[in-house]
Structure 1
């Protein structure tokens, strides 16, 4: 079939992009790391085309940069970048509710809320336990689902991009801490319950506290 190969190629492209994104977030492809299309293609045992497409996708998401005649480099974010990320994600989330709180919160269906609630519980448990690797996956899924049910696909996409970039910057710093138990934000379930009650004021309070927590935690990770 003429279209079957294109579908497989697109799927492979997405799979490679997802795998590399996970490697970058986890810090296994650290900031500043250089690599080529050939290197990644050999690593995954695939042709260069889907790898090149996947790398361009990650460039568009701000995770990689292209270096002339050298290939690609994992982007290096700064503390100033992270402060801007927190501001950006705050504006995105607050904008969802401020544009029309009743419309945003009233659009939440019981089935969608149940799914987000499960993600919230899993993320909260991982955060409380200080299990960073488990938290990252659940946290990203939680925010994607929450944004999807109260916003629109474009808003959800913007928020996910900013959150991925935020994890890329914070993960190496958090791994330096002797313990993360009790130090990571675990208010996911509290936020979901505020959404379920359609309490926009409480949602805003929780988001503000979360952003302050994020900035304080990363500030505490600065080298002395």
Structure 2
């Protein structure tokens, strides 16, 4: 009975962590938002223990900050943080690409396993790309994270896969408040998932590197835009006025 209770509590802890992560990714829990264990426990109708454990799990993942006296706060990533995430991701992916193409071609059995796994990944890629082209942020985030998670599993190194997944969750947490207020959101949602899968399927090193470079370059260009003040603040959907606009009192706002 005791073991069963431990499994139940562990499952509840994970469910709460997943639910809160989804709230942050959906933008319903904004960066800087503060809350207590008691508030979350009452919201979900559960005891404080699994909530506290879930919140500490999310803190360990870099999504929350813990304050002994005030509870927890949704972490607020900066543009510099986001840029560092992209650069770290690029370095790791470069190593993965070299490893995938190193040495002789994989055995027929491994090729078959790859093809079978890529069937599911390709479906994810098509859904993610469709959501990106349509500007459907909620659908895109879910498919994009699952796409990269499943693709990362093909590497066969859970440490690398987990690290990259954590970076992508953090990147989405940073991006969501900006993207939801951006009228040009579709222009900033990468949709090259299918091209990436095609390059991997054909073991085309140059095509794979080109897609990954475009993926990271796209993200860095968006970071440059944010650093320049467009949009001016998370969720504002507005750009920073120029000096000439600011000096003209007759110019309407917005």
Q: TM-score, normalised by structure 2?
A: 0.84
Give the stretch that moved more between structures: 73-82 or 101-110.
101-110
How much has 1:217 moved relative to structure 2? 2.4
Matching residue of 2:252: none
Q: Gaps spanning 5+ residues in structure 1: where? A: none
Partner of 1:158: 163
Paired residues in the alignment total 224
Is the CA contact 1:31–1:74 (under 8 Å) kept in the aligned structure 2?
Answer: yes
* Alpha-carbon contact 1:65-1:74 (below 8 Å) kept: yes
* Cα pair 2:100 2:155 within 8 Å, conserved: no
CA shift for structure 1 position 178: 1.3
Q: Shift in Å at residue 104 of structure 1?
A: 11
TM-score scaled by length of structure 1: 0.94
Q: Is the 2:83–2:223 contact (alpha carbons within 8 Å) kept by the matching residues of 1?
A: no
- List per-residue Cα deviations over 1:107-134 (Å, max 9, x = no partner): 5522211010000000000001111111
Per-residue deviation, 1:211: 0.9
Partner of 2:86: 86
Q: 1:47 to 1:111 in 2, by over 3 A?
A: same
1:116 aligns with 2:118: no
How well do the aligned residues superpose, as a CA RMSD in angstroms? Answer: 1.7
Partner deviation per Cα, 1:194-222 (whole Å, 9 max, x = no partner): 00011222211111111111121243343
**8 Å CA contact 2:58, 2:64 repeated in 1:** yes
Q: Unpaired runs of 5+ in structure 2?
A: 233-239, 241-254
Task: Report which of the two structures shows the higher radius of gyration computed on alpha carbons.
Answer: 2
Aligned partners of 2:105 and 2:20: how far apart in 1? 35
SS at match of 1:83: helix
By relative contact order (CA 8 Å, sep 6+), the higher-ranking structure is: 1
